Chains A and B, each alone.
Chain A
Amino acid sequence: MSENTITFEIDGVEVQGTAGQTIMQAADAAGIYIPRLCAFDGLLPYGSCRVCTVKVNGRFQSACTQPIAADIIVENDTEELLEFRRNLVDMLFVEGNHFCMFCEKSGDCELQALAYRLGITAPKYPYMFPDDRNVDASHPAVFIDHNRCILCARCVRASRDLDGKNVFQFVGRGPEKRISINARARLVDTDLDATDKAIDVCPVGAILRKHVGYSTPVGKRKYDHAPIGADIEANKH
């Protein structure tokens, strides 16, 4: 055990991590799944969806941004937190227009998969039915459907940090907050390339590649085989 090893506890189980890791990183390595939407391997932590909220020594923190420390007591899989997570996922559903049955991403969608994993069958909050969310299909290889955007900023971070561009950024604030693009109106006028990593990090059906929508049939998609988080839980020793 190196001197950088930090020992702490998640739901009564002793976990070891290395200094500088976040709670989520250490939990992943230990095979403990903490639900998340905005967090993504290889992107800087962002802390916006709040789905990974855990309790650290009794205080609520986002596991994706909170660093580990020796002897902290982390609560993750408790009924209180699961209920908060259901509510947060619910909020993301009612905030946009998510029609799973017509969506190309169905079965590969992290929002949908998380709802299933958390046992949500129908939202408890009233739908907001926003009518100001448009679709931009101007780009030859990609389209954006703002109806399904959950404002996780994965595309913003990936374009900036992985692609070295700034194709995406937020505009507006509060309920009016939206993803915008680095052009006056159309995605085709940005320097987005079909090879950009920003395209593939979208957890939902907001940024989609054209021409490949049903190349994998429904029923044979990622979360049709195993629930979200199963890959992480496979790390458990």
Chain B
Amino acid sequence: MSENLESVIRTICEGFNNDRTRMMDIVREVQETFGCVSDDAMDLIAAQVQTHRVEVESVVTFYAFLSKQQNGNVVIRLCDDIIDRMFGYERIRQTFTEALGIDVGESTEDGRYSLETTPCIGMCDQAPALMVNDEIFTEVSRDTVTEIVEQLKDGVAPERLRRRLGDGNNSSPLVGAAVANNIRKEGDVIFAPLTCGRALKKAISMSPNEVIRDVKTARLRGRGGAGFPTGMKWDFTRGAKGEKKFVICNADEGEPGTFKDRVILTERPELLIEGMVIAGYAIGAQEGIIYLRGEYAYLRPFLEDRLQNARNIGMLGEKVFDKEGFSFDIRIQMGAGAYVCGEETALISSCEGLRGDPKNRPPFPAQKGYLGFPTSVNNVETFCCVARILDQGAGWFSQIGSKGSTGTKLLSISGDCRRPGVYEVPFGITMNEVLEMAGGNGAAAVQVGGPSGSLIGPDDFGRTICYDDLATGGALMIFGANRNVLEVAAYFMDFFIEESCGYCTPCRVGNVLIKERLEKIMEGKGEPSDLTYLEELGAVVKSTSRCGLGQTSPNPVLSTLKNFRSAYDALVKEDQPFQPTFDIQKALGEAKTIAGRPSMHFAE
């Protein structure tokens, strides 16, 4: 065990007061420093923060960006979500493989490079995309890959790689990212001009209950997709007994096809911060946390700067805007690659330095959340809506949108359309209008709400986007007539298998079984009874799973079975009295090679 390792780990742990609830920060920093969290490192961390080694291992093996095995100094992560696959992922992978001599999942012998894949990194509107350590590259071509590899081999550090900077704050020195905002339509709530601090000043001139009343009057519902009334959530949290209370911003947008929070964080961080402080005032919290997904680490220095700026002008810190008795500050908690952490109780587990397992409910976070204290977890966009509601008035807000769904919604649009990007639209807009706007005419299918949502066809394009019809966190993936909807469903099932936390039986096992049967059908070996089998299996997983991930994970298959039945019918053959579920010749392959002859019993 090297002395260096020991002293560095001691320093890292001390940097977080040897507090084991800051385990995520500790192991992230160890991973960044050494390229892994080795057996030795886990022993040292456990000793330093006085926990058990297996507790550290439990965290390290949960998150995709942490590893026990040594990674290369430079980790290249190719985004392999369905949109990236449609727009050239395979080409990019091949080019890297040729240039580095390693395949996905491998590291070069000199320990300099690792090549990995990762699900959606929030860049679907500029696919294909990849990460080199924390640096993002989008609309990547073979030439970009060659250029990246040449520079890396010349010793250029990832953060110094040449890139074409994006628009807006993407080109500010603190972000410096080759990411485009692609804001295609600005609405009145999120992207309208902002007078910083006005909404908060108004809020603190009112009583906390009056602030909550305004949010209720505006009929604001959560923008993450579930649509729980925000005012009610705050009421519960305010009313719950607790020495301390917490506000958490869910900036873990991991639903494939969603990237609108990335644009808010880049262009409207002030609106978000203001919304969080208002929430803190309303529920009686002193501390806020922004849980930022690991893939957005490149935004962290910029967001830290904006938080500091808010402190400088008195919006954060002791006595916010000189308000007696109200202090509030915000810290950023980095994630480390786990989709399930977008589930609010899993997100809280992660903030507490644990595996991202969802918690049992009840108790709900409003009663017992972060570290056991009453906590309100809200989406990035929701906080922004709150700030605007306080600024412009609840009546103004509730007149935008439709009756049950007030305000605007940010849509993340990607796939087969001419104008992918972020659109701020009033609720109540039809899918046809959306497709027209994005240049996605001729779409054969649209995935509404990411993999956990549903895939709809042209018969449903007259439906409206709102909580009572097509409810969505905002992800719309458009597929043209040349795309195979079963491949889309199969990819999404792989995604859920990879991202399930594994806590409960139906999600851990059921999704693997669904994928197995879907593959059988796609190989042309299916029969009509397999479709019933899938429907029944899907119902078990949906009904008995413990959290929202498992309760929605069969949707890709169930919604395609419902809306694209003909794609399945075309593949399944009549029920046979006997249908092999495996290829006997393939299974005998090794034996035939050893025997040097074909099978006597199973003729080819």
Contacts of B125 in A (CB 8 A): none
Which residue from B500, B508, B543 sits with its C-beta under 8 Å from A84? B543
Q: Measured between C-beta atoms, what is the minimum distance from B356 to chain A in Å?
A: 8
Q: Measured between C-beta atoms, what is the minimum distance from B591 to chain A in Å?
A: 18
Q: Check A173 against B61 for contact (C-beta < 8 Å).
A: yes
Q: Check A126 against B516 for contact (C-beta < 8 Å).
A: yes
Q: Measured between C-beta atoms, what is the minimum distance from B508 to chain A in Å?
A: 6
Binary contact track B553-571/A, C-beta < 8 Å → 1, others 0: 0000000000000000000
Binary contact track B479-523/A, C-beta < 8 Å → 1, others 0: 000000000000000000111111111101110110010000000
Given A48-B546, A183-B53, A65 and B360 touching (CB < 8 A)? yes
What separation, in Å, do the CA atoms of A85 and B515 have in the docked complex?
21
B401-429 contacts to A (CB < 8 Å)? none
Q: Is B54 an interface residue (CB 8 A)?
A: yes
What separation, in Å, do the CA atoms of A171 and B56 have in the docked complex?
9
Contacts of B54 in A (CB 8 A): 166, 168-169, 171, 180-183
Q: Is B57 an interface residue (CB 8 A)?
A: yes
Q: Is A19 an interface residue (CB 8 A)?
A: no
Q: Measured between C-beta atoms, what is the minimum distance from A151 to chain B in Å?
A: 7
Q: Check A166 against B506 for contact (C-beta < 8 Å).
A: no
Q: Is A43 an interface residue (CB 8 A)?
A: no
Most buried by B among A62, A87, A125, A166: A87
* B512 (CB) vs chain A CBs: closest residue: A175
* B51 (CB) vs chain A CBs: closest residue: A166
What separation, in Å, do the CA atoms of A175 and B510 have in the docked complex?
10
Q: Check B62 against A182 for contact (C-beta < 8 Å).
A: no
What separation, in Å, do the CA atoms of A168 and B503 have in the docked complex?
15
Q: Is B437 an interface residue (CB 8 A)?
A: no
Contacts of A132 in B (CB 8 A): none
Contacts of A219 in B (CB 8 A): none
Q: Check A91 against B510 for contact (C-beta < 8 Å).
A: yes
Given A67-B362, A91-B509, A172 and B61 touching (CB < 8 A)? yes
Q: Is B5 an interface residue (CB 8 A)?
A: no
What separation, in Å, do the CA atoms of A169 and B53 have in the docked complex?
10
Q: Check A174 against B506 for contact (C-beta < 8 Å).
A: no
What separation, in Å, do the CA atoms of A150 and B506 have in the docked complex?
12
Q: Is B581 an interface residue (CB 8 A)?
A: yes
Judged by DSSP, the binding face of B is helix
B37-79 contacts to A (CB < 8 Å)? 39, 52-55, 57-58, 61-62
* B359 (CB) vs chain A CBs: closest residue: A47
Q: Is B537 an interface residue (CB 8 A)?
A: yes
Q: Check B502 against A175 for contact (C-beta < 8 Å).
A: yes
Q: Measured between C-beta atoms, what is the minimum distance from B535 to chain A in Å?
A: 13
Q: Check A49 against B53 for contact (C-beta < 8 Å).
A: no
Q: Is A41 an interface residue (CB 8 A)?
A: no
Contacts of A168 in B (CB 8 A): 54
B507-553 contacts to A (CB < 8 Å)? 508-510, 512-513, 516, 536-537, 540, 543-546
Contacts of A45 in B (CB 8 A): 360
Q: Check A177 against B506 for contact (C-beta < 8 Å).
A: no
* B63 (CB) vs chain A CBs: closest residue: A173
Contacts of B498 in A (CB 8 A): 174
Most buried by A among B54, B55, B508, B537: B54
Q: Check B506 against A88 for contact (C-beta < 8 Å).
A: yes
Q: Check B52 against A171 for contact (C-beta < 8 Å).
A: no
Q: Measured between C-beta atoms, what is the minimum distance from A79 to chain B in Å?
A: 13
Q: Is A94 an interface residue (CB 8 A)?
A: yes
What separation, in Å, do the CA atoms of A85 and B150 have in the docked complex?
57
Q: Check B58 against A91 for contact (C-beta < 8 Å).
A: no
Q: Measured between C-beta atoms, what is the minimum distance from A40 to chain B in Å?
A: 15
Contacts of A181 in B (CB 8 A): 54
What separation, in Å, do the CA atoms of A184 and B57 have in the docked complex?
10
Contacts of A87 in B (CB 8 A): 536-537, 540
Most buried by B among A46, A92, A126: A126
Q: Is B262 an interface residue (CB 8 A)?
A: no
Looking at chain B, what size class is its interface with the partner chain? 35 or more
* B510 (CB) vs chain A CBs: closest residue: A91
Q: Check B512 against A128 for contact (C-beta < 8 Å).
A: yes
Given A91-B513, A125-B513, A183-B53, A173 and B505 touching (CB < 8 A)? no
Q: Check B504 against A48 for contact (C-beta < 8 Å).
A: yes
Which residue from B61, B356, B360, B513 sits with its C-beta under 8 Å from A47? B360
Q: Is B355 an interface residue (CB 8 A)?
A: yes
Q: Is A116 an interface residue (CB 8 A)?
A: no
Q: Is A60 an interface residue (CB 8 A)?
A: yes
Q: Is A99 an interface residue (CB 8 A)?
A: no
Q: Check B540 against A49 for contact (C-beta < 8 Å).
A: no
A42-98 contacts to B (CB < 8 Å)? 45-51, 53, 60, 62, 65-67, 84, 87-88, 91-92, 94-95
Contacts of B338 in A (CB 8 A): 173
What separation, in Å, do the CA atoms of A81 and B501 have in the docked complex?
24
* B361 (CB) vs chain A CBs: closest residue: A65
Contacts of B503 in A (CB 8 A): 48, 177
Which residue from B57, B500, B516 sits with its C-beta under 8 Å from A180? B57
Which residue from B502, B510, B543 sits with its C-beta under 8 Å from A172? B502
Q: Measured between C-beta atoms, what is the minimum distance from A234 to chain B in Å?
A: 28
Contacts of B360 in A (CB 8 A): 45-47, 62, 65
Binary contact track A143-173/B, C-beta < 8 Å → 1, others 0: 0000000110000000000000010111111
What separation, in Å, do the CA atoms of A168 and B61 have in the docked complex?
15
What separation, in Å, do the CA atoms of A48 and B503 have in the docked complex?
6
What separation, in Å, do the CA atoms of A103 and B459 have in the docked complex?
55
Given A87-B537, A87-B540, A173 and B512 touching (CB < 8 A)? no
What separation, in Å, do the CA atoms of A23 and B509 have in the docked complex?
26
What separation, in Å, do the CA atoms of A107 and B304 have in the docked complex?
60
Q: Check B544 against A84 for contact (C-beta < 8 Å).
A: yes
Q: Check B55 against A177 for contact (C-beta < 8 Å).
A: no
Q: Is A131 an interface residue (CB 8 A)?
A: no
Q: Check A53 against B543 for contact (C-beta < 8 Å).
A: yes
Which residue from B512, B516, B544 sits with its C-beta under 8 Å from A60? B544
Q: Check B540 against A84 for contact (C-beta < 8 Å).
A: yes
Q: Check A169 against B57 for contact (C-beta < 8 Å).
A: yes
What separation, in Å, do the CA atoms of A66 and B540 have in the docked complex?
19
Contacts of B540 in A (CB 8 A): 84, 87-88
Q: Is A176 an interface residue (CB 8 A)?
A: yes
Which residue from B55, B356, B497, B499 sits with its C-beta under 8 Å from A166? B55
Most buried by A among B355, B505, B537: B505
13 additional contacts (CB under 8 A) given A171-B62, A175-B512, A176-B502: A48-B505, A62-B360, A87-B537, A91-B513, A92-B505, A95-B509, A166-B55, A169-B55, A173-B501, A173-B502, A177-B502, A180-B54, A183-B53
Q: Which residues of B contact A (CB under 8 A)?
A: 39, 52-55, 57-58, 61-62, 338, 355-356, 360, 362, 497-506, 508-510, 512-513, 516, 536-537, 540, 543-546, 581
Q: Closest 10 interchain pairs by CB?
A: A177-B502, A91-B509, A166-B52, A182-B54, A174-B500, A169-B54, A171-B61, A50-B544, A65-B360, A174-B502
Q: List 29 A-B contacts (CB under 8 A).
A: A46-B360, A48-B504, A50-B504, A50-B545, A50-B546, A62-B546, A67-B362, A87-B536, A87-B540, A88-B544, A91-B505, A91-B509, A91-B510, A92-B509, A166-B54, A166-B55, A171-B57, A171-B58, A171-B62, A172-B61, A172-B502, A173-B62, A173-B338, A174-B497, A174-B498, A174-B500, A180-B58, A181-B54, A182-B52
